[in-house]
A and B are shown apart, each in its own frame.
Chain A
Amino acid sequence: MELVTPGIGLVFWTSIVFAILFVLLAKFAWKPILGAIKEREQSIEDALASAEKAKEEMKTLLSNNERILTEARAERDELLKDARDIREKMIAEAKGLATKESERLLQAARENIQNEKMAAITELKNQVAVLSIEIAEKILKSELSSDEKQKSLVNNLLQDVNLN
């Protein structure tokens, strides 16, 4: 019974002591402590948020890089392809030109040869004619050098001529 009978003195002292303790702690301990904890939590939260943001930025940056790299690669491929095309075209063109030129040269050479040949033939003809005349002259001269010969010729000729 005595154990469960509260003493007034102790109730009084407990009330007073607890009230004082509460006021002192609330003002000088809990306020700064809880404030500091809250502040720290806020700063950690902010730091986390900014880290998250940085991560996000990094991600966009990375994807940008990726995109730029892909683009650059595509461009390079394009350029290479173009270059190859141009080279092939140039080679083809050069080939065409060379063939044409060589044909032209051949044609010219052939014509030249023909002309030379004609000229040579004409020259030869002329020479032959001159030579023939000279030979004929000489022959005539020798044939007609004596009277007998002239007579014989006339005879021969006259013989050939048939009086038909």
Chain B
Amino acid sequence: MSNKIKTFRPILTCIFALLLCLNSSFANDNNDGAVAEPTHEEKFKPTEVIFEHISDSHDWHFWGEHEHAVSLPLPVIIYSDKGFDIFLSSAFHHGTHPYHGKYTYILKNDHIKVVDETEVVDDAATSKIIDFSITKNVASMFISVAIILSLFLSMAGAYKKNGIAAPKGKQSFLEPLVMFVRDEIARPNIGAKADKFLPFLLTIFFFIWINNLLGLLPIGANLTGNIAVTLTLALITFIVVNVNGNASYWKHILMPPVPWWLYPIMIPVELIGIFSKPFALMVRLFANITAGHIVVISLVSLIFIFKSMAIAPVSVAFALFIDVLELLVAFLQAFIFTMLTALFIGSAIEEHHHDDAHAEGAHAKHH
């Protein structure tokens, strides 16, 4: 254990040193800036603040506003018909300066746009570029992956060392979670072939859960509350379910157990069902996590809306309560996503007969 910490320590030190350098360099930069101080009497717009917090960004913002912002610049990678443009987002100076690469880019509302010589947004050229930047969300995802890998690789190492002895340390915390996914999610919903899908379910569960938790941290990114991420996860589930779907799964969709004259209605319904399930997965995770973030920030925003310190204890108390609730939601949403994925996989690989399904319905009614 201690050896590992020792090997990690220089890396951590480097990261913190880097952060400090960047922060101080920015601070200097900002002080040297010729831009006038923003007016403090500017009206507080909660919607803007909230949307800024739940949206992706090209630099990792810590504190301060506009020209006084202290943030970690992230790499911008833009693919266009002229090739790749790679530069740090600090080149935009928080959106105040354009960057001259293969095209001229500006940062507008955290979106990179192409401009012409007169700094007017060129929509035609903008639609042609693809933004592959390491945004705040991508960086947060890298961090989460590093955390997940270090957790589970060291856990696997502990198993190699301890063999089948009773779990200890990190093992005893993570093992029940692994067992939970196996015994409460995978096996009851998938059945005999559960262990084949277990690595996928475990990965998706811990990926969502760890990212949900990271999102709750004060400067964390709203990764699992981003539609692109949940879309990708849902897409992966969609592929896994349909690639593993067996003959009876497809038969149920293309030849549903209804009279033939209902086929024109039932087949489209079943086909829509294939897509609506992962779509619901995508929207559920996105909306739950985003809603949680919005509620927390809204509660904190109350202080600024009322412009009174007196409201602070109330709003902090409520925000704390919601934050604790969000800890539960973070787990619950990871659980539900994994659970429904397991359920869909289970129904796709199950060797079911239609009579059974009806008998089950009657059984349920009987209860």
Contacting residues, chain A, for B323 (C-beta < 8 A) = none
Q: Is the CB of A14 within 8 A of B200?
A: no
Q: Is the CB of A5 within 8 A of B131?
A: no
Closest Cβ–Cβ distance, residue A38 to chain B (whole Å): 9
Q: Is the CB of A33 within 8 A of B159?
A: yes
Given contacts A30-B199, A36-B164, contact A21 B56 (CB under 8 A): no
Q: Is the CB of B203 within 8 A of A21?
A: yes
The number of residue pairs between A and B whose CB atoms lie closer than 8 Å in the complex comes to: 121
Contacting residues, chain A, for B142 (C-beta < 8 A) = 17
Closest Cβ–Cβ distance, residue A41 to chain B (whole Å): 9
B31 proximal to A (CB < 8 A): no
What mask results when residues 146 to 187 of chain B are scored 1 for a CB within 8 Å of chain A, else 0?
A: 001100110110011001100000000001001100100000
Question: Can you name 25 A-B pairs with beta carbons within 8 Å?
Answer: A7-B56, A8-B228, A10-B137, A10-B228, A13-B138, A14-B141, A15-B232, A17-B141, A17-B142, A18-B203, A18-B236, A21-B149, A21-B203, A25-B148, A29-B156, A30-B202, A30-B203, A31-B156, A32-B159, A33-B152, A33-B156, A33-B175, A34-B195, A34-B198, A35-B159
B54 proximal to A (CB < 8 A): yes
What mask results when residues 185 to 209 of chain B are scored 1 for a CB within 8 Å of chain A, else 0?
A: 0000000000100111011000100
Q: Which residue of A lies closest to B200 (CB)?
A: A22
Tell me the count of chain B residues lying within 8 A, CB to CB, of chain A. Answer: 47
User: Do most interface residues of chain A lie in helix, strand or loop, or is the interface mixed?
Assistant: helix
Closest Cβ–Cβ distance, residue A164 to chain B (whole Å): 154
Contacting residues, chain B, for A33 (C-beta < 8 A) = 152, 155-156, 159, 175, 178
A37 proximal to B (CB < 8 A): yes
Which residues of A, 1-55, contact B by the 8 Å Cβ criterion?
A: 2-15, 17-18, 20-22, 24-26, 28-37, 39-40, 43
Closest Cβ–Cβ distance, residue A19 to chain B (whole Å): 9
Q: Is the CB of B149 within 8 A of A24?
A: yes
How far is A31 from B152 in the complex, measured between Cα atoms in Å?
11
Q: Is the CB of A10 within 8 A of B164?
A: no
The 4 A-B pairs of least Cβ separation, nearest first, read A6-B228, A10-B228, A29-B152, A36-B159
Closest Cβ–Cβ distance, residue B225 to chain A (whole Å): 9
Q: Is the CB of B131 within 8 A of A8?
A: yes
Contacting residues, chain B, for A37 (C-beta < 8 A) = 175, 178-179, 182
How far is A30 from B177 in the complex, measured between Cα atoms in Å?
13
Contacting residues, chain A, for B290 (C-beta < 8 A) = 3
- Beyond A11-B228, A29-B149, list 4 extra A-B contacts (CB 8 Å): A5-B227, A14-B141, A37-B178, A43-B164
